[in-house]
Amino acid sequence: MLARQRDDAWAFVGAQGEWERHLSRAGPLGGIWDGVRALGNHPVDFTYRHALAVNAESLAFLALFLALLPLVWRRFGPAYGVFALVSLAVPLAYPPDDFPLLSLPRFGLVIFPFFLVLAELGERPRAHAAILSASALLLGVAIVQWVTYQWVA
């Protein structure tokens, strides 16, 4: 479709520069490293606290997604495992300059094998309660971000 409309099938790769994203030389590991390193790269003021919160939230989601990957692979096989791995690796390989893991929660929420694993885990009552509690807490955080005009995704 892009080849027909833009005469460039790879136009989506060039468009990443418009969002201040660049291809990391280390691929997905570079995005992870930049995310960890960004936790201490800001001056101490309100901007620092906001950047620290955004990066810490993104790293927490990354840890969740990485914990779900082996479960996807084990329960649903290599096809879904590879899909989830590649779907997570692509945004990690193109980190933005200022917030390396920006939008990672949004990118990860559309990786459907993660939801399949959470649904299976949620069959047990305690796991179900834990998943609902964490989801309600995260919804509360997202609502507070939204009403204070912060970037939610």
- Considering its fold, how many domains does the chain have in total? 1
Q: Is residue 138 part of a domain?
A: no
Q: Is residue 153 part of a domain?
A: no
Domain that includes residue 86, residue range: 2-121
Phi, psi of 96 (to 5 degrees): -70, 165
Q: Is residue 150 part of a domain?
A: no
Tens digits of residue pLDDT in 77-99: 999 999 999 999 988 888 877 77
Count of beta carbons in the 10 Å neighbourhood of residue 90: 13
pLDDT for residue 117 is more than 90: yes
Task: Give pTM, 2 decimals.
Answer: 0.79
Q: Is residue 63 part of a domain?
A: yes
pLDDT for residue 105 is more than 70: yes
Write down the pLDDT at residue 94. 81
